[in-house]
Amino acid sequence: MSEVQGQAPLDYIVDRPETAADGATVAVLLHGRGSNRRDLQGLRPLLPPTWTLVTPEAPFPGSLWGYGQGSAWYRYIADDRVVEETLEESLSKLDDFLTELPELIGFGPGTLVLGGFSQGGTVSLAYALSRPDAVSVVLNFSGFLVASAPLDETGAAPPTTPIFWGHGVADPAIPIALAEKGRSRLRKAGAKLTARDYRIGHWIAEEEVERAVALVEEANG
């Protein structure tokens, strides 16, 4: 493995196997509120060694809204509502970042996984739903579905991107009831949703990552 840090539309870290080449799987994972680009590099041992792991840093200083010394993807209001201008700014930054991704990692991704924890999971869902087919699979670890997410809840135009949503039943930060609210909307819209609950709080369980990886491998055929 080799690690590269740099700046693009977002600061980032790339951890890639020496054998990485065009067509390989790339996972872009977004950290939670008040954290940084190093955080989800901690999942590296749980991911297949053939995957390249990219962890960008959110564009807003967390201290701006009282979220600590790290960074944030949006300003939270309550329930499933956020300050839309802040979310849209992050989605726009992700547009630019993913456009530059092949240059940043040195090859063209095959399967492009977008996911994250907490705020990072929320942003990943929002990105995939607002930009159909931009990514191959979405992994949401303990995030929520924003109220403004573009969904046709008649099921007439179902989202095509497979979604994994793992959540802790004892999560005090994003309660399981809020997760079920978002999952229900996704199901009504006909999304390809895999939902799993775990006896944890607001963190990521090892078995959760294992199930998410299995979903990506299934999507790969």
- Could you read off the pLDDT of 10-19 as tens digits, one per residue? 999 999 999 9
Least Cα distance to 148 among 89, 94, 80 occurs for: 80
pTM, two decimals, is 0.96
- Could you read off the pLDDT of 87-112 as tens digits, one per residue? 999 999 999 999 999 999 999 999 99
CA 188 – CA 178 distance, rounded (Å): 16
Determine if residue 132 is left, alpha or beta; phi over 0 gives left, psi from -120 to 50 gives alpha, anything else beta. beta
- Could you read off the pLDDT of 169-190 as tens digits, one per residue? 999 999 999 999 999 999 999 9
Assign 1 a pLDDT band (cuts: 50, 70, 90).
low
Q: Is the pLDDT of residue 220 over 90?
A: no
Q: Kindly report the backbone phi and psi dihedral angles of residue 74, in degrees, each rounded to the nearest multiple of 5, phi listed first.
A: -165, 165
CA 62 – CA 59 distance, rounded (Å): 9
Whose tokens are 């079920």? That residue is 180
Are residues 52 and 13 in contact, defined by beta-carbon separation less than 8 angstroms? no
76, β-bridge pairs:
82
**3-state DSSP: the chain helix, strand, coil percent, rounded to 5?**
35, 25, 40
Least Cα distance to 170 among 219, 213, 205 occurs for: 205
Q: Is the pLDDT of residue 7 over 90?
A: no
CATH topology of domain 2-219: Rossmann fold (3.40.50)
Are residues 143 and 118 in contact, defined by beta-carbon separation less than 8 angstroms? yes
Q: What angle do CA 44, 49, 55 make, to 5 degrees?
A: 40
